[in-house]
Structure 1
Amino acid sequence: MTDTPARLLTLLSLLQTPREWPGSELAQRLRVSARTIRRDIDRLRELGYPVEATLGPEGGYRLVAGAAMPPLLLDDEEAVAIAVGLRAGAGHAVEGVDEASVRALAKLEQVLPSRLRHRVSSLQSATVALARGDGARVDPRTLTTMASAVAGRERLRFAYRARDGVQSRRLVEPYRLVSTGSRWYLVAYDLEREGWRTFRVDRVAEPFATGARFAPRELPMDAQEFVRRGVRGAETYRVEVVFAAEAEALPPWLRDAAVAEPGGTRVCFESGDSPEWLVARLALIGVPFTVHAPEFLAVAARELAARLASAAGA
């Protein structure tokens, strides 16, 4: 192998396999002399790769952990396996590794050949992950599109569904993706509404980067705190439900807010759950109830009742 850059890449790929490589075996694999292998090893060391050499009949070369993470060379199977794993994890926010996972996935998918990208998508569509109770799942492609736009300071367009179901189109300057451990949020400056906004990523559809660059604006506070304040005001709502039973028949999480009244028990509380999940949770209590507020929770109850009636053949 006379092409030095190609030979160095092949040598690096071999050394990334966790084993010791005798110089003679490396020379045979690359069809060069032992002297050339020694020179190539020195070049890799100059580039920052920590290659360790041991003497003796059992000695050889191996790549060891250094002070920094060197670029990795992956074969097709390894690249597909890592991309599938990152996609599976990215769809469900996991505190501590969530944002790093999305950045890694965005970098990997940017350089994946089309044939491998197709394999990753096929494997992803053939698997089903256990979702959270409120069904708030995120398409990893949405996350990687947003992460790339944030990193590249590129304006982003997408369709957005508000909590009350109202649909809109948004043009934003994306600032940061934030995970709360259960949901993903995008902090961005909404150009048409001329203000900072927090968007729930599971309510975003058809995101695409416009190609238009922007100079980043200054967010008035830390991104995590901005999301916390926005979620506290926008994601919670006051619920009023009347159960046809006494307070003792209700679970502990409802008893503190229960007030007895003729013919039942009225409960008022704040919730941040999706209406669909909250209605299902209330129904599982096993006590007849009536939703008095908000109206969208009553709508979710009617829709769930219709689906259950249909499933039962009624």
Structure 2
Amino acid sequence: MKGRTILLDHLNDRQAAALMVDGRLEDFLIAGDAPAPGTIYRARAERPVKGQGGMFLTTPDGPAFLRQVKGLAPGERLLVQVTGYAEPGKAIPVTTKLLFKSRYAIVTPGAPGLNISRSIRDEDERDRLLEIAHTEMGDSPFGLILRSGCSGADAEEIAEDIAAMADLAAQVMEETSNEAALLSEGDSPHTLAWRDWVDPADVVTETGCFETHGVLDALDVAQGTAEPLPGGGRLYIEQTRALVAVDVNTGSDTSLAAGQKANFACAKALPRALRIRGLGGQITLDLAPMPKKDRRGFETSLRAAFRADSEETILAGWTPLGHFELQRKRGRVPLREVLK
């Protein structure tokens, strides 16, 4: 099947969304048991961790951990937002930098100013969007970022989106309760699909559409360790408690350039493989043998692939043993935790 298709369904009684591009699963979102990223709490400071420069907090959904704390004393109340999923048994990761994010607009209470996505380069379009932003925000103390999806979008829809996020931000920021409380829930998979998958696509909402459109078959592959590569190679992706290990295998290719070809194929395929599996944290690549002179090209290819990915990933570099390491945000719930 050619083209882009967004499928909204449920899997194991959990809300889920799938993005198929030319018949291949390109992205997958599923609800987890932990609070979703974007959830906002009024939390209470409990115990500092001086060695890590952080503070444990109390929230209605359990303990949270705030990094890089300065001037915060136990017992104080503060607004925090969930930034990702915690590993089992660990505290919820949170930040004090709140973002109210929707399809077209991001309202930033702590960062005033009106900004437009740098990917929108047409000056006339930027002027149009800036006019909409000024009209809707007025003298608001909040900042605003207009996302790349605004390009060519209807002015009224953009204005409604800005107004909705500004109203939500005002409501949360004006909350005066002293008790730990849930103030705003993070987006569900269906809402995230509407918010982030903005390119034109057919949308299918019928129950059972995952089965009829090949999503379940693709998830069967994603639940295993092997990920096929073009040219006959494979990635073997295994999650441990400490890190995610990725082994690159050349398969049946025995040519002199087999390692180089498999490694460059890995660079292109890895963001999708990690995204669908919901994997993050420390990632170590055990690459196929290739000359050191090809390392720079591999890094360039890997950097380009992750630049278009939805989750923040830091390319840490090479180890003395020739492995390549990454640090990836835990912005997704691991697939094996919800489909086991």
Instruction: Report the TM range for the smaller structure's normalisation.
Output: under 0.3
TM-score, normalising length: structure 2: 0.21
Q: Which has the higher contact order (CA 8 A, sep 6+)?
A: 2
Structure whose CA Rg is larger = 1
Structure with greater proportional helix content: 1
Structure with greater proportional strand content: 2
